[in-house]
Amino acid sequence: MLGFPCNQFASQDPGTESEIADFCQVNYGVSFPMFAKIEVNGSDAHPLFVHLKRAAPGLLGTTVIKWNFTKFLVDRQGQVQRRFAPKTTPLQLADDVERLLHATVGPTAG
């Protein structure tokens, strides 16, 4: 997992990148990397999120990210596999991640 703070949703992330990372670690036990604060919608959207939204549109084909914590599953080759709603928990992603890991790892020697 990777985190990209964004303050475009009801000003939930107004702090500095360091403050946001500390808050997420203390309150949610986040241990994955947190990157620079970016915009995910609009004309200043980061190119990564422009790509993610095009590759995995939301409900009814929308590309806008409607709330913080929208998640994207990307395979080892960088291909976007799926988009998840903000309320989807990391634990709920486990089956999809496992399936993707087994599909890309291949057979083991034995």
Q: pLDDT by residue (tens digit) across 34-43?
A: 899 999 999 9
Mention every residue, 6+ apart, whose C-beta is less than 8 A from residue 72: 52, 56, 80, 82, 83, 84
The structure tokens 């929208």 sit at 70
What is this structure's pTM? 0.84
Do the Cβ atoms of 15 and 36 come closer than 8 Å?
no
Q: pLDDT by residue (tens digit) across 18-69?
A: 899 899 899 988 888 989 999 999 999 999 999 999 999 988 888 999 998 8
* pLDDT value of residue 104: 60
* pLDDT value of residue 30: 87
Sorted by where each starts, the structural domains of the chain and their CATH numbers stand as: 17-105 (3.40.30.10)
